Structure 1
Amino acid sequence: MINVVNCSSILDTNFSWAVKIPKEAVNKSRQENNGCAFVVVLQFKNMTNKNQTNNQTVLNNAVYGITMRANISNLTDNIEMIFTQNDKVSEASCVSWDGKGELEWTTVGCETEINNNTIKCSCSHLTFFAVLMSLPDADVTAPYLETLTLISSIGCGISIFFLSIALFMHFLLRKAKSNQATKILMNMFVSLCLLNAAFLSNESVANTQDNTACVFIALVLHYSMLASFTWFFIQALHMYLWLIRQNVTITNYMRKITVLGWVCPAPVVVVIVSFGGYKAVTLNTTSGKIARMCWITNPYIHYIVNMGYYSLVFIFTTGIFIMIVTKVVYVRIIRATDDKRKTFRKQLMMVLSLFLLFGLTWSVAFFSYGPMIIPSYYIFTVLNSFQGFFLFLYYYHIHNDVAGHFTDDPESTDSNTIISQSSINAVENIHN
């Protein structure tokens, strides 16, 4: 059913879509139809295009054909089609098809204007029209959500188990023998253990629909994540002072970096919780299962705070990583041995160890765009959910080789820490 209304009131109607035919097009129709204007508007449902991408859909699943029994093209006063949606429109594109051959959409001759929940298509010709809507990226990852969640749950569970063993071994068996490098590593273990525990319990808390509990678990999850990032930074800073600067005297060194590691993230989460930034988020899967999570609901806060915070850490840790690897490789070349296979294996293990200690595995998130989005999600999930397990292996097998050679005296009670060592020996001790 078609309703004819005054052109001046086309935007004030309650219709979901409307067509405005300009006087120029009507005059052309009269000229070619013996003085009579002729207009036909047709609506076709379920017209599919085999070349249409998976992240696009036709608005209302409808194609509109307009004919006036005349050659209507190159109009100076364009034909307009207005579409009104219930929700705010993000991305849309007005397209047309000439009706010949296979259905191939083109944007030539049509302009798109979006204003809140209204889409206006302005076209200079008559043919078949439609509006292509771009689906959000979340729909692209929806088929993989359950698999990624399963991998994360398994990885976090395993990481918690082995991190707990490492903490038990440290506090009950090795605490008296620990040096500053080990103490920094243990603080990192605590933050990662808290992060994994908060993640595993997050969905269960969200399903209770208790707002207070949801805000609390989201706060703990966010705080422990930022704390982990901070300890990655501190780990790199300690390596820098030990290997690069050297001969540095710092008063109350451990006390200062401990305060930095645990206090620095606190103001961030306090500000977010004061603005009500933590709420329950609903995630849909293709199987119809609905998953809930307590997290940051505003994408701008997520990207500015989390990506910004980690980006600063990443820039510093990457710089230290490059400096250390370059220095170690240089020393290895100077002190070349006959067993080059063993040397290469040691260098590889050193690189992997530093990669984990500096939290560089989290940088995979920077590649979560375009065709790399799904592979990067899987790589990110595996590396970071199992990070605690990998660090336990490092602690158990390599701890004495790396941390045990640090020059700070574990038996010293002096409040001053003097980090000093010859350049060559310090580099050699990284992974000897």
Structure 2
Amino acid sequence: MQYGCKWEGNHNEGHCVCEHLSTFAILMSKEPLEVPGLNYVTYVALSVSVLSLISNLVIELIVWSDVVKTSTLYLRHIAHVNISLCLLIADLCFLASSDPKNISDLWCRTSVVLKHFCYLAMFFWMFCLSATLLHQAVFLFHKVSKKNYLRFSMVIGYFCPLLIVVITFLTNDGGIEGKYYSKDTCWLVYGGLLKGTIYTFIIPVGAIVFINVFSMLVVIMKLISHHTEIQQKNEISPEKEKAAAKTVMRSVILLTPIFGVTWIFGFAILVLDLTSGSLAYAVHYIFTVANGFQVGSK
């Protein structure tokens, strides 16, 4: 019998009632896995994330007019604000539905729709941000107007995930339990290899992470190339070389969570046989810690 489940008794033979609490890793899992202490890590991580995201949004509101003075800064901050907003709503919904046994079917289904949309929207806005940074790195002298950027970002950031969620919901009998979502997890359904509604989340996320990794590598290569050109033209002191190396390292550290690269550990949860054992526990912990504490605006 699976850990966290109990037999209903002789009156209902062969039927078990499970009392799993949803951990953050369920977003990329085939089925719930009870990992010691991971529930507490999830609650702490998401609580810290929610508080940080609220602080970020408040700070953005206060300093917006003083900080956002150029088109480049405007594009970046618009993306940061929307990433933070989507992640905040998704995390709040996750916390509110983390105990599926004690919530109504209506709220469970509603929370799944909101999480499905908001987490997807977060990734599509990450794509908008990576596309902006890539454009700025490759086409230094080509400027994008605010109006065109907003149109592009609103379509990509909100319309695309909304379309995915609506089509998935309607094609699964109007979001019926067992087809669109699971009441045991208050999340999408895994039905086998490339089967189940969870792939309407995993496939877009995988594609965006792949594109964002490519964008991040291009941006870093541009930074290194720029430093090399300066080095060839001028004598650079060891102090300046260290400063340049720190700039590259800082870019890697900052871009990795912003572009959703840490979600690669989620694909390890999905692809590898992580039903039990130390490897399963390690990957679940890494994914939860790396992404549960995620803050949208840097």
Q: TM-score range by the shorter chain?
A: 0.7 to 0.9
Partner of residue 207, structure 2? 312
Does the aligned pair in 2 maintain the 1:356–1:387 contact within 8 Å? yes
Secondary structure, in 3 states, of the residue corresponding to 1:203?
Answer: coil
Does the aligned pair in 2 maintain the 1:223–1:265 contact within 8 Å? yes
Of 278, 281, 292, 1:374 maps to: 281
Does the aligned pair in 2 maintain the 1:232–1:359 contact within 8 Å? yes
Partner of residue 173, structure 1? 63
Give the structure, 1 or 2, with the largest relative contact order (CA under 8 Å, sep 6 or more): 2
Alpha carbons of structure 1 residues 224 and 138: separation in structure 2 relative to 1, 3 Å: closer
Higher helix share: 2
Q: Indicate whether 1:153 and 2:60 are aligned.
A: no
Does the aligned pair in 2 maintain the 1:281–1:297 contact within 8 Å? no
Alpha carbons of structure 1 residues 249 and 279: separation in structure 2 relative to 1, 3 Å: closer
Partner of residue 353, structure 1? 254
Compute the displacement of 1:364 (Å): 1.4
CA displacement 1:268-316 (0-9 Å, x = unmatched): 222233322444443xxxxxxxxxx311134322452122111210221
CA displacement 1:184-215 (0-9 Å, x = unmatched): 111111111112111111125x3344221111
Larger displacement relative to structure 2 (324-333 or 222-231): 324-333
Does the aligned pair in 2 maintain the 1:218–1:296 contact within 8 Å? yes
Give the letter for the 2:256 counterpart: F
CA displacement 1:240-276 (0-9 Å, x = unmatched): 2211134155553223312321121112222233322
Give the letter for the 1:161 counterpart: L
Alpha carbons of structure 1 residues 370 and 295: separation in structure 2 relative to 1, 3 Å: closer
Q: TM-score, with normalisation over the residues of structure 2?
A: 0.74
Partner of residue 413, structure 1? none
Does the aligned pair in 2 maintain the 1:163–1:193 contact within 8 Å? yes
Partner of residue 193, structure 1? 88
Partner of residue 244, structure 1? 138
Partner of residue 331, structure 1? 226
- Rounded Cα–Cα distance in structure 1 between residues aligned with 2:206 and 2:189: 21
- Rounded Cα–Cα distance in structure 1 between residues aligned with 2:131 and 2:161: 17
Does the aligned pair in 1 maintain the 2:189–2:198 contact within 8 Å? no
Of 287, 291, 295, 2:187 maps to: 295
Does the aligned pair in 2 maintain the 1:278–1:294 contact within 8 Å? no
- Rounded Cα–Cα distance in structure 2 between residues aligned with 1:214 and 1:303: 16
Partner of residue 269, structure 1? 165
Compute the displacement of 1:138 (Å): 5.2
Compute the displacement of 1:366 (Å): 2.2
Partner of residue 212, structure 1? 106
Structure 1: give runs of 5+ residues left out of the alignment. Answer: 1-54, 56-85, 88-136, 283-292, 396-432
Secondary structure, in 3 states, of the residue corresponding to 1:252?
Answer: helix
Secondary structure, in 3 states, of the residue corresponding to 2:63?
Answer: helix
Alpha carbons of structure 1 residues 296 and 267: separation in structure 2 relative to 1, 3 Å: same
Alpha carbons of structure 1 residues 189 and 138: separation in structure 2 relative to 1, 3 Å: closer
Give the letter for the 2:61 counterpart: F
Compute the displacement of 1:367 (Å): 2.1
Higher strand share: 1
Secondary structure, in 3 states, of the residue corresponding to 1:301?
Answer: coil
Does the aligned pair in 2 maintain the 1:219–1:278 contact within 8 Å? no
Give the letter for the 2:108 counterpart: C
**1:104-183 matches, cutoff 5 A:** 141-142=33-34, 144=35, 146-175=36-65, 177-178=67-68, 179-183=74-78
Give the letter for the 1:154 counterpart: V
- Rounded Cα–Cα distance in structure 2 between residues aligned with 1:244 and 1:263: 27
Does the aligned pair in 2 maintain the 1:236–1:317 contact within 8 Å? yes
Partner of residue 216, structure 2? 321
- Rounded Cα–Cα distance in structure 1 between residues aligned with 2:39 and 2:96: 13
Give the letter for the 1:294 counterpart: C
Does the aligned pair in 2 maintain the 1:211–1:279 contact within 8 Å? no
Alpha carbons of structure 1 residues 249 and 163: separation in structure 2 relative to 1, 3 Å: closer
Of 252, 257, 263, 2:153 maps to: 257
- Rounded Cα–Cα distance in structure 2 between residues aligned with 1:302 and 1:379: 25
Give the letter for the 1:356 counterpart: P
- Rounded Cα–Cα distance in structure 1 between residues aligned with 2:181 and 2:200: 16
Does the aligned pair in 2 maintain the 1:198–1:220 contact within 8 Å? yes
